[in-house]
Structure 1
Amino acid sequence: MKALQASDRSVFPDPVYRETVLKPLFDGAKRHLASALKAVDRAHLVMLVETGIVSREQGATIAGALEAIAAEVDPLTLSYTGAVEDYFFLMEGELKQRVGADIGGRLHTARSRNDIDHTLFKLVLKQHVDRLLLKCRTLLGALVDTAERDKAVLVVAYTHGQPAQPTTYGHYLGAVIEVLVRDIERLEAARAIIDLSPMGAAAITTSGFPIDRARVAHLLGFAGAMPNSYSCIASVDYITSIFSAIELLFLHLGRPIQDFQVWSSFEVGQLYMPNAFVQISSIMPQKRNPVPIEHLRHLSAQTVGRARAVVNVMHNTPFTDMVDSEGDTQEMGYQVFEVAGRVLDLLAVTVPAGAIDSARVAVNLRRSCATITELADTLVRVEGLSFRLAHGIAAQVARTVVALSGDLPSDGYAPFALAFKERAGRDSSIGPDEFARIVSPEHFVAVRERFGGPGPAALDAAIRGYRTALKDFEQRAEDRARRESNAAAELAARFAELVGGA
């Protein structure tokens, strides 16, 4: 038995290693990387022929075989047998079977699985990032449209979990929008790091062959080639950058989602979700459970955790080409994008569907004395008091009204007149009607026209800026897509010329 074990373990791969490592990596590669490898092979071959490293006749033979393999071999039907190490060697073996080892082996001139792997990962990641960015722009558009729709709809703004001041739903969403804009910018910046080609770095130090790295980068639709060849295979900051950006995006989105859950509670009742977003209890028929908001919250948290896990895999790893950044980690990353996309899709329809319950907001604003700050400000402007004195008068009024469970506009004037006389030593020039106007939430919002405030003109200007940001994002996406589409067309044309020359 011992002799049999020794014999079995003298042949690669060990069965357990095959099943636990090589087979899952092979299955992942055939699902996610096959199309990218086809593009890399073709771009590299075109470059080899254009630089004279491989003759046109040899290139034509290889191109014809690659074309036939693409037409005849469906990667998804392949099963890992352990006959070769991975998907790359299986495809190389298929090429050699068709054109012979001498011609088939020339395709791998001046390249390594090191630069190939990172190029494949980047090509696939760009696709995932672009889909995520599209969903982000869709959400951004939904938020901006809702902010404009509800730019004059009053809500209670909270600090420390307590009613603080009135603002508008459009103003609140504007804050969410501004964070999302910055998060999209971070995603775009991370994408720019991904958008540099490692091809031509080979194992570490490039090659003695006169390769044209910029040409391969162009044909594959990259913005350019990575400058340092060691960096091509060692610096995995393209992975840490994108998943850190995703982690921040969903950490930030989770915060307003948490607000929506509080706002839609029975006790607060500020946000109403229509029946399409409500599930009824199986035992308590009176309950309206806005469970999509709960799913948004926990799926956002899942996305944060999964993205952080990908980043953590890179912690304390050697600055060299490493298994840690390869197939298994990429699979983790694809799961991040899948869950992230679900959150963005759901949030983009949930926000416009929600409606502010203005009657409930009005009650909460009046009873909480949330407009009392404007009374203090007005006393400074109209009565010439110091803010501290005015603040003391306003605080006394608020305490009295709250203790009475009263309504500030209708029940606050008598306490105000008394507090003013006690503290200022004279009667106020403000009468009951003017007092009610001063402490109204509409007035509170209308006078806050400073830059960034909820006043109508200030908020309109902000919304115009948000639409400009969205337009800029869309234009940059179109520019990237056009560049990559043109590159793909050029690669197809150059490759077709080689096939035609066979």
Structure 2
Amino acid sequence: MTAPTATGRLTSAVAPAAADILFDRHLRPPADPVAAELWPTSDVDRAHVVMLTEQGIVRRETAAALLAGIDALRADDFAPLRHRPAPRGRYLAYEGYLVETLGERTGGVLHSGRSRNDLNATVLRLQLRRPYDRLLTETDALGRALTTQGHRRHTVVMPAYTHHQPAIPTTYGHYLAGVAAALVRDLDQLEHAGRELDENPLGAGAAGGTTLPVAPGRTTELLGFTAPLGNSLHAVASRDLVLRLLSACSVLGVLLTRTAHDLQSWTSAENPLLRLPDDLVGSSSMMPQKRNPFLLENIQGKAAAAIGALTAATTAMSTARFTNAIAVGTEAIAPLWPALEATTDAVLLLRLIVEGAQPDDGLMRRRATEGHTAATALAERLVVAGVPFRTAHHEVGDISRIALTAGRPFDEVAAERLAGHPPEVLAALDPASIVSAATAGGGPGPASVLAALQDTTDRLDALRTRAADRRARWQAAGEALTDAVSAVTNRP
């Protein structure tokens, strides 16, 4: 009996991770906007109130009642606020609720020494932590897949292509190592762009700080930042973090798209150098014979999202003066979230393709042979034998033309035309032998490829360590904040 997931031509369903992105996600309920805003906001509030208490700005009894009120809302997942009118924004409705339930002398101290400007800048950084960390994690996983497959395939000979034509002999592993080397640089730029996540804007107020003796260093500790921002205007006027992240995603997206283009060409019926398993291709609703590598098209579409988002965010920010502005703090940020998700999805889909693609070793080698990819190496051997390169270039080009016209093997014609040269000129003209000798300049020789893969792995390891340290700092700060709140409220 045919399985329900089969189509006749295909014998399995689309891989679950891909199906989740492409088919299932839109069926889920939309993200909870109340939770998305108020959970990080209340984290900032808890740290702010603890700091105000420790600085002697708020009495401990008042702070204890206020923190208890905030924690009660958190325990109830902000249920009292979910249907509360918010004519001037959700935060003011939240603060208003605390004033109503706790009294003005308690709830009214929450915003001491603070503005929505520095609060929003801080909340943005907290909201970005999870999607940013997921993007880095998935990009690291793609890098590991590329290096793993690069090791496995570093002797699988194929043509390198320029202008869509066979050019020189290389290996599939050399190609994957090249993509991995570019990817780890893009990951490094993502990590660098995200360093602004660790800078704390609290204390900046509306734009000019505050006359209250706040301690930004303390909220920095409690929220898992590494340092407070040193200029209050910069803290609220700039969202360059958004632009840098979108810029880094755009560069990464270009690499993903270019790689997908290559793989799309190599999985075509006309040049099937790679075969994808049934769970990474689609069928046609009308044409029974089709095996469509449609995930590669999804990668191309999703990887381009950040470019549009960067254009929108940059345009929005460029209209604003250098101070707090809606265009900067609201409008320019709106395209960020879908762009981060789309980029992450594109990375994940490409990883599935890299892990699942099976090269046709024999066809790859045959394409390298039939494409006369040994021609450049033959010209270089003539140079070693004393022939000027341009003369050698013309002679070997003539050999290639004759071989193609006569339908004869390239090395056979070369042996006839170059019979008077030393035997080493014509020895081992097969693509595999040429690949083995191509070690200079980072070529596809085995030792060269393995060295490049090791370098990429070392870079990935260093970036993974930094990411783990960052997550550990965020977690430790969350625990420290809970302890600090308990100390103020006298709860164990």
TM-score strictly above 0.5:
yes
Which of the residues 358, 373, 376 maps onto 1:373?
Answer: 376
Counterpart CA distance in 1 for 2:491 and 2:166 is 76
Describe the shift of the 1:76–1:428 C-alpha distance in structure 2 as closer, same or farther (beyond 3 A): farther
SS at match of 1:165: strand
**Which residue matches 2:464?**
474
Structure 1 position 456, deviation (Å): 1.1
Moved more, 355-364 or 87-96: 355-364
For 1:399, give the aligned amino acid: R
Describe the shift of the 1:483–1:379 C-alpha distance in structure 2 as closer, same or farther (beyond 3 A): same
**Which residue matches 1:338?**
341
Query: What whole-Å deviation, never above 9, does each CA across 1:152-189 have from its counterpart, x for those lacking one?
Result: 11121111221111101111111111111111111111
Structure 1 position 429, deviation (Å): 2.8
Summarize the alignment of residues 424-435 of structure 1 with structure 2, pairs less than 5 Å apart. 427-430=420-423, 435=426
Moved more, 216-225 or 278-287: 278-287
Structure 1 position 146, deviation (Å): 0.8
Which of the residues 448, 451, 454 maps onto 1:458?
Answer: 448
CA contact 2:320–2:328 (8 Å) conserved in 1: no
Structure 1 position 192, deviation (Å): 0.6
Which of the residues 105, 116, 130 maps onto 1:113?
Answer: 116
Summarize the alignment of residues 271-282 of structure 1 with structure 2, pairs less than 5 Å apart. 271-282=274-285
Query: What whole-Å deviation, never above 9, does each CA across 1:268-300 have from its counterpart, x for those lacking one?
Result: 222222222222334443332211112212222
Structure 1 position 221, deviation (Å): 0.7
Summarize the alignment of residues 373-412 of structure 1 with structure 2, pairs less than 5 Å apart. 373-381=376-384, 383-412=385-414
SS at match of 2:333: helix
For 1:145, give the aligned amino acid: T
Q: Which has the larger radius of gyration?
A: 1
Does residue 180 (structure 1) correspond to residue 173 (structure 2)? The answer is no
For 1:397, give the aligned amino acid: I
Structure 1 position 222, deviation (Å): 0.8
Structure 1 position 395, deviation (Å): 1.2
CA contact 2:160–2:166 (8 Å) conserved in 1: yes
Counterpart CA distance in 1 for 2:149 and 2:391 is 40
For 2:284, give the aligned amino acid: S
**Which residue matches 2:159?**
156
Counterpart CA distance in 2 for 1:75 and 1:380 is 80
SS at match of 2:70: helix
Does residue 135 (structure 1) correspond to residue 138 (structure 2)? The answer is yes
Describe the shift of the 1:180–1:76 C-alpha distance in structure 2 as closer, same or farther (beyond 3 A): farther
**Which residue matches 1:66?**
70
Q: Count matched residues.
A: 462
SS at match of 2:213: coil
Structure 1 position 227, deviation (Å): 0.8
Moved more, 456-465 or 383-392: 383-392
Query: What whole-Å deviation, never above 9, does each CA across 1:66-109 have from its counterpart, x for those lacking one?
Result: 12222235359713534x41111111111112221122111111
CA contact 2:256–2:347 (8 Å) conserved in 1: no
Which of the residues 44, 49, 52 maps onto 1:45?
Answer: 49
SS at match of 2:440: coil
Query: What whole-Å deviation, never above 9, does each CA across 1:120-153 have from its counterpart, x for those lacking one?
Result: 0111112211111011111111111111111111
Counterpart CA distance in 1 for 2:182 and 2:395 is 37
- Structure 2 unaligned residues grouped into runs of 5+: 1-30
Does residue 93 (structure 1) correspond to residue 96 (structure 2)? The answer is yes
**Which residue matches 1:420?**
none
**Which residue matches 2:34?**
30
Which of the residues 348, 351, 355 maps onto 1:352?
Answer: 355
Structure 1 position 501, deviation (Å): 6.7
**Which residue matches 1:171?**
174
Which of the residues 118, 123, 128 maps onto 1:125?
Answer: 128
Which of the residues 236, 245, 248 maps onto 1:245?
Answer: 248
Does residue 317 (structure 1) correspond to residue 307 (structure 2)? The answer is no
CA contact 1:371–1:439 (8 Å) conserved in 2: yes
Counterpart CA distance in 2 for 1:161 and 1:113 is 55
SS at match of 2:158: strand
SS at match of 1:163: strand
SS at match of 2:314: helix
SS at match of 1:384: coil
Structure 1 position 411, deviation (Å): 4.8
**Which residue matches 2:11?**
none
Counterpart CA distance in 1 for 2:371 and 2:185 is 34
For 1:403, give the aligned amino acid: T
What is the RMSD of the two structures over their aligned residues, measured on CA atoms? Answer: 2.0
Structure 1 position 414, deviation (Å): 2.4
For 1:113, give the aligned amino acid: R
Describe the shift of the 1:28–1:204 C-alpha distance in structure 2 as closer, same or farther (beyond 3 A): farther
Counterpart CA distance in 2 for 1:304 and 1:160 is 25
CA contact 1:198–1:229 (8 Å) conserved in 2: yes
TM-score by length of 1: 0.87
For 2:397, give the aligned amino acid: A
Structure 1 position 331, deviation (Å): 3.8
